[in-house]
Amino acid sequence: MGRPFILHYEDDCIHCRSCKTRVGFIRDHLFTNIGDESFIFHTVFNVEVPEDKRYHQVEKNGRTVADTYCIKCGNLLGRKLIAIDKPCSYIREGVFFISLHKVGHTNQDGGVNEQAAGANVQDGDADEQGGTNEQNDEQ
């Protein structure tokens, strides 16, 4: 049995940080779980999830999950929710929890945005160096 072929799409995608293989569409992103530091997707591609129940883990909250790997490099990207006692509108069987630190963003033009998750978070207590026109005192 050979390796599955890699799918390529022309849309805003997330990709594996290790090998840049596209693994999901931004439009399929349900929401970001900041506490778990993961994106939650209902659909991903170019990933491998072991179907053997020996590789499934039961978490403390009763959820059954399976690790999700990049199909090209084998990097662990996150988990797939296999079973849940009390599903809700977003957290239900079949969703993927993809680690913020394991993926990056690729735009439609093929450009890669390598900002880490939370890179746009601003520190309100940061000390700013200099102000406007501070260097123009001599003029």
Residues, the chain = 139
pTM: 0.68
Neighbouring residues of 50: CB distance < 8 A, sequence distance ≥ 6: 56, 66, 67
CATH class for domain 13-115?
mainly beta
> Over the stretch 69-124, which tens digit does the pLDDT of each residue have?
999 999 999 999 999 988 888 788 999 999 999 999 877 665 555 444 433 333 33
pLDDT of residue 90: 78
- Domain spans, the chain: 13-115
Helix (H, G, I), strand (E, B) or coil at 65: strand
44-81 exposure pattern, b = at least 16 Cβ within 10 A, e = fewer:
bbbbebeeeeeebeeeeeebbbbbbbbbbeebebbbbb
> Over the stretch 9-26, which tens digit does the pLDDT of each residue have?
567 889 999 999 999 998
pLDDT of residue 122: 34
